[in-house]
């Protein structure tokens, strides 16, 4: 359903208030070729209406000669900021950057955040942004889950489909993604709603079964037959199944990088307004699939880099896979049971 300009501006104003934007602060809106025009125009109006000093920085796209997809998360190589000292300086001087382009997993983003600048990513279509508009309750729920992760030393995930995998925890931080940036140096993604961390290097051991109806991202496809993945010493060593398994295996192999097979972040979805089924209603190029990543009760895991968490592993390949019907345990205590979050909500 289309979104009125009034609704979109109001949504931006709510997110900016939650992000503690104050009159006189500097906001830079980062855009590129794929930026949604209504999201941009509403952001310009909302930031100015709140008294901010507003700039727009438009940068050309990169990686078209390497990526196998138009999805911004399909190839995490260089960004338009790579080697662009003038642009980086402008962003560091900003109190808030609204990323309508996608800088995820880039060293430039880390450098900007270290300066105290806040960065909010918002690249989903306007109707998704409005439906998944964050609130303070989202923040408290996600932060409570992250606190449980922070205290734990092992995550164990099982499912009736055959998943049975353990991860040692503690070497990397627990992250809360709730859709706004209310602290200096914070990055977040509107929309979101999940808690996550990264397993200790080399600790992931077991088996992942991606069952029928589970989702592969950035492929943005529902799996039609099970895929079995053997995990040893933190890496996927065997990918078995039918055509879906072959497609996943071929995609990962195309990067010609052993780090593409390394376990990346792990956690679970906490956003009740997100839906597993929504991806089937969109053209693949219209969304990056945040409903799939955030829907309540999923077990979200990924392959690829851990530099976002301060690790040393980088790779252009990043694959997010939310699973249904899993039980997720921290130190033997169920956080999610058969796809239902056990936090009283």
Angle CA(34)–CA(135)–CA(5) in degrees, nearest 5? 45
d(CA 24, CA 206): 53
Top pLDDT among 311 and 319 is at 319
Cite the residue boundaries of each domain of the chain with CATH code 3.40.50.2300. 5-131
d(CA 22, CA 303): 38
**Residue 107: pLDDT above 90?**
no
d(CA 41, CA 45): 6
**Residue 207: pLDDT above 90?**
yes
Q: Centre a 10 Å sphere on the Cβ of residue 272 and count the other Cβ atoms it contains.
A: 17
As a whole number, mean pLDDT of residues 240-265 equals: 96
Give the full edge-to-edge strand order of the sheet including 26-31.
53-58, 26-31, 96-99, 118-121, 187-189
Q: Which of 294, 291, 236 is nearest to 262 (CA)?
A: 236
Question: Greatest CA span in the chain, whole angstroms?
Answer: 57
Angle CA(319)–CA(302)–CA(270) in degrees, nearest 5? 115
Strands 299-303 and 263-269, how do they pair? antiparallel
pLDDT of residue 75: 67
Confidence of residue 74 (pLDDT cuts 50, 70, 90): low
**Residue 188: pLDDT above 90?**
yes
C-beta of residue 280 within 8 angstroms of C-beta of residue 30: no
Q: Is the peptide bond before 218 cis (omega within 30 degrees of 0)?
A: yes
d(CA 328, CA 234): 18
**Residue 104: pLDDT above 80?**
no
The two structure tokens encoding residue 325: 């019907």
As a whole number, mean pLDDT of residues 253-260 equals: 95
Taking each helix axis from N to C end, the angle separating 5-18 and 37-49, rounded to the nearest 10 degrees, works out to: 60
d(CA 134, CA 50): 19
C-beta of residue 149 within 8 angstroms of C-beta of residue 83: no
Rg (Cα) of the chain, in Å, rounded?
19
**Residue 18: pLDDT above 70?**
yes
pLDDT of residue 190: 98
Dihedrals φ, ψ of 39, to 5°?
Answer: -60, -40
As a whole number, mean pLDDT of residues 172-184 equals: 97
pLDDT of residue 64: 72
d(CA 28, CA 324): 38
What's the mean per-residue pLDDT of the chain?
Answer: 94
d(CA 143, CA 195): 7
Is CATH 3.40.50.2300 the right assignment for the domain spanning 5-131? yes
Q: Which of 67, 96, 63, 68 is nearest to 81 (CA)?
A: 63
pLDDT of residue 79: 82
* Stated pTM of the model: 0.95
Q: Considering only 70-74, 134-138, 328-332, which range has the smallest mean pLDDT? A: 70-74
Q: Is the peptide bond before 191 cis (omega within 30 degrees of 0)?
A: yes
C-beta of residue 191 within 8 angstroms of C-beta of residue 292: no
């Amino acid at each position: 359903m289309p979104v009125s300009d009034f609704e979109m501006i109001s949504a931006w104003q709510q997110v900016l208030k939650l992000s503690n934007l104050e009159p006189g602060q500097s906001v830079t809106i980062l855009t590129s070729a794929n930026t949604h025009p209504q999201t941009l125009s509403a952001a310009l109006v909302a930031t100015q209406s709140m008294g901010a000093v507003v700039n727009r920085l438009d940068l050309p796209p990169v990686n078209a000669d390497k990526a196998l997809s138009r999805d911004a998360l399909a190839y995490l190589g260089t960004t338009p900021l790579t080697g662009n000292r003038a642009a980086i300086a402008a962003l560091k001087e900003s109190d808030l950057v609204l990323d309508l382009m996608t800088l995820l997993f880039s060293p430039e983003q880390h450098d900007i955040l270290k300066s105290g600048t806040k960065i909010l990513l918002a690249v989903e279509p306007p109707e998704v942004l409005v439906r998944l508009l964050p609130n303070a309750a989202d923040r408290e729920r996600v932060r409570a889950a992250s606190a449980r992760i922070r205290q734990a030393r092992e995550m164990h995930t099982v499912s009736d489909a055959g998943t049975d995998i353990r991860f040692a925890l503690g070497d990397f931080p627990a992250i809360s993604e709730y859709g706004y940036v209310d602290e200096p140096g914070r990055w977040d993604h509107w929309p979101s709603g999940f808690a996550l961390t990264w397993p200790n290097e080399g600790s992931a051991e077991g088996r992942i079964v991606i069952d029928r109806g589970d989702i592969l991202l950035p492929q943005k496809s529902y799996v039609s037959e099970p895929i079995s993945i053997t995990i040893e010493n933190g890496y996927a060593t065997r990918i078995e199944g039918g055509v879906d398994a072959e497609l996943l295996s071929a995609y990962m192999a195309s990067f010609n990088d052993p780090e593409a097979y390394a376990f990346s972040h792990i956690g679970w979805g906490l956003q009740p307004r997100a839906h597993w089924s929504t991806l089937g209603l969109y053209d693949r190029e219209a969304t990056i699939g945040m409903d799939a990543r955030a829907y309540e009760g999923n077990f979200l895991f990924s392959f690829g880099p851990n530099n976002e968490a301060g690790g040393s592993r980088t790779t252009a390949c990043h694959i997010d896979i939310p699973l249904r019907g899993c039980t997720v345990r921290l130190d033997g205590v169920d956080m999610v049971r058969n796809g239902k979050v056990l936090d009283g909500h």
